[in-house]
């Protein structure tokens, strides 16, 4: 998905958020349960921006129907080099409704789990604030 790739490469968290469907489901490479919802998904993506360094996409694979994409990336987290893939599905409106990430090697996934774990209180607080703002705006 070209728009998401450009938003990530620009480190534009607002643009990334705008591409998410309200009912997006995020599946982490290091957590057992998926995370449903735009608020938590956008907060997780902001956390990822904080922990990944030297991030770059190296390949983009799209289906012929234009609804499924795989974005292969390389990054460093806590001194460990990781290779990963963002698997993205978009709904009929072109919004991301399914987002799954996989990373390798195991040592990189472990470093990512530790780094994101250290971010999780902030991630949860950001998601709660976004949900509260959404409720207040209704």
Enumerate the domain spans of the chain.
2-126
Helices marked H in 19-105 — which ranges?
38-51
Percent of the chain with pLDDT over 70: 99
**Confidence class of residue 1 from pLDDT cuts 50, 70 and 90?**
confident
- Top-confidence residue, 73 or 135: 73
Long-range contacts, 25-32 (Cβ 8 Å, 24+): 25/97, 25/98, 25/99, 26/99, 26/100, 26/101, 27/98, 27/99, 27/100, 27/101, 28/101, 28/116, 29/84, 29/101, 29/102, 29/103, 29/109, 29/112, 30/103, 30/109, 30/112, 30/113, 30/116
Written as six digits, the tokens of 53 are 């360094």
Peptide bond into 105 cis (omega under 30): yes
Q: Per CATH, which fold does 2-126 belong to?
A: Nuclear Transport Factor 2; Chain: A, (3.10.450)
pLDDT band of residue 65 (cuts 50, 70, 90) is confident
The arithmetic mean of pLDDT across residues 58-80, rounded, is 95
- Of 97, 108, 118, nearest to 36 by C-alpha is 97
Pairing verdict, β 20-27 and 96-104:
parallel
Rounded CA-CA distance 137/24 in Å is 20
Is the predicted pLDDT of residue 26 greater than 80, yes or no?
yes
Average predicted confidence (pLDDT) for the chain:
95
Query: CB 5: neighbour CB atoms within 10 A?
Result: 16
Q: Please choose, from the candidates 129, 62, 122, 52, the residue with its C-alpha nearest in 3D space to the C-alpha of residue 89.
A: 62
Q: Is residue 138's pLDDT more than 80?
A: no
């Amino acid at each position: 998905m070209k728009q998401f790739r450009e938003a990530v490469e620009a480190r534009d968290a607002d643009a990334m958020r705008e591409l998410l469907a309200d009912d997006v489901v995020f599946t982490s490479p290091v957590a057992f349960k998926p995370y449903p919802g735009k608020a938590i998904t956008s907060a997780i993506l902001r956390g990822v921006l904080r922990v990944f360094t030297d991030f770059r996409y190296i390949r983009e694979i799209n289906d012929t129907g234009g609804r499924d994409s795989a974005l292969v990336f390389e990054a460093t987290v806590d001194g460990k080099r990781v290779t990963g893939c963002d698997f993205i599905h978009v709904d009929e409106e072109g919004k991301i409704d399914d987002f799954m990430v996989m990373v390798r090697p195991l040592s990189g996934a472990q470093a990512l789990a530790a780094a994101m774990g250290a971010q999780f209180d902030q991630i949860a607080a950001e998601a709660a604030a976004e949900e509260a703002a959404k409720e207040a705006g209704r």
